[in-house]
Amino acid sequence: MLKKVLIANRGEIAVRIVRACAEMGIRSVAIYTEPDRYALHVKRADEAYSLGADPLAGYLDPLRIVNLALETGCDAIHPGYGFLSENATFARLCEEKGVTFIGPKSNVIHAMGDKTQARDSMRAAGVPITPGSDGNLDSVEQALELAEQFGYPVMIKATSGGGGRGIRRCDTPEELRQQYPRVISEATKAFGSADVFLEKCIVNPRHIEVQILADSHGNVVHLYERDCSIQRRNQKLIEIAPSPQLTPEQREYVGSLAVRAAAAVGYENAGTVEFLLTGNEVYFMEMNTRVQVEHTITEQITGVDIVREQLRVAAGLPLSYRQEDIHYRGFALQFRINAEDPKNDFLPSFGRITHYYAPGGPGVRVDTAIYTGYEIPPYFDSMCLKLICWALTWEEVIARGKRALDDMRLRGIKTTGTYYQQILSHEDFERGVFDTSFVPTHPELLNYSEKRHPSEIALVLAAAIAAHAGS
290 is catalytic: yes
- 207-216, 367-376, 457-466: lowest mean pLDDT where? 457-466
Is domain 131-200 given the CATH code 1.10.3720.10 in the classification? no
Residue pair 158/196 in contact by the 8 Å Cβ criterion = yes
Q: How far is CA 341 from CA 48, 233, 402, 450, in A?
A: 33, 15, 19, 12
What residue spans in the chain does CATH classification 3.40.50.20 cover?
4-86
Set 10, 226, 290, 365: catalytic member:
290
- At residue 166, the pLDDT reads 87
At 88-128, the pLDDT tens digits run: 999 999 999 999 999 999 999 999 988 889 999 999 999 99
The mean of the pLDDT values for the chain is 94
Q: Is 344 helix (H, G, I), strand (E, B) or coil?
A: helix
At 181-197, the pLDDT tens digits run: 999 999 998 888 899 99
- Cα 53 to Cα 427: distance, rounded to the nearest angstrom: 49
What residue spans in the chain does CATH classification 3.30.470.20 cover?
206-454
- Cα 159 to Cα 117: distance, rounded to the nearest angstrom: 9
The pTM of the full predicted model, rounded to 2 decimals, is 0.92
Which CATH fold topology does 206-454 show? D-amino Acid Aminotransferase; Chain A, domain 1 (3.30.470)
Mean pLDDT of 34-52: 97
Mean pLDDT of 160-169: 80
- 68-72, 78-82, 450-454: lowest mean pLDDT where? 450-454
At 218-268, the pLDDT tens digits run: 999 999 999 999 999 989 999 999 999 999 999 999 999 999 999 999 999
- Cα 326 to Cα 324: distance, rounded to the nearest angstrom: 6
Asked if residue 158 has pLDDT above 70, the reply is yes
- Please give the share of the chain, as a percent, with pLDDT higher than 90: 90
- Decide which of 229 and 456 is more confident: 229
Mean pLDDT of 386-401: 98
Q: Count the Cβ atoms, other than its own, within 10 Å of residue 255.
A: 23
- Cα 255 to Cα 248: distance, rounded to the nearest angstrom: 11
- Architecture of the structural domain at 4-86: 3-Layer(aba) Sandwich (3.40)
What residue spans in the chain does CATH classification 3.30.1490.20 cover?
131-200
Asked if residue 453 has pLDDT above 80, the reply is no
Mean pLDDT of 205-211: 98
